[in-house]
Amino acid sequence: MNFTVNRSTTLLALVFALLAGDPAAAFLRPAQIPESEPAAEPAPKPAGAQRPIVEPQFDSYDRANPDYERLQRPDEALQGFPLDENGKVDWARALRDGVITPREVLQGNETYLPLDLDIVMRNTKGMPYVRFPHKTHTEWLACSNCHPAIFAQKAGTARIRMEDIFRGEFCGKCHDRVAFITHRACFRCHSVAQPGQHMPY
């Protein structure tokens, strides 16, 4: 009973504060959104001035460069590549299937063996554990691509959160950019069931 009276009294006091315009209760009122001003018209260009060839918000290439036409178009370059469930190139499968054969070093003819070592990360809250396959990554990346700049070479030192990956840190240096999209393929990484957990696929 006492709890109900206190709760009702508090609620009543908040309503009166709002109606009275009490600044202490201002955080409870909806924010006032100012009217947006119409976009300013661009300044007229002098006679003879050309519109920029490259619209920076749409293109990263300089179409005025005489070598632009020599660039291979993505749809041509990626024709016949295996695709993942999101319609993006599955680079690991392309490598396994021999569609691509990347060089191991930029200069010379050194070779090295991939590191066949899986790391299971268990700090995943309620999600299945993450299995990180070194072999998939070291078939075409050198250890120095990730260590020590992105990941320290000591187990348990990286505090990886999905928020950081989405912001381009840790795995997000490649994933969600060139490598597969993480937020549409959760179980490609979260692939090890926790004890008593049933995998959803």
Between 49 and 96, the higher pLDDT residue:
96
CA 59-86-69 angle, 5° bins? 30
Looking at residue 25, the DSSP 8-state letter turns out to be: G
pLDDT surpassing 60 at residue 121: yes
pLDDT surpassing 70 at residue 36: no
Distance CA 23, CA 18 (A): 8
pTM: 0.63
pLDDT surpassing 80 at residue 159: yes
Q: Mind listing the domains of the chain with CATH numbers? A: 81-189 (3.90.10.10)
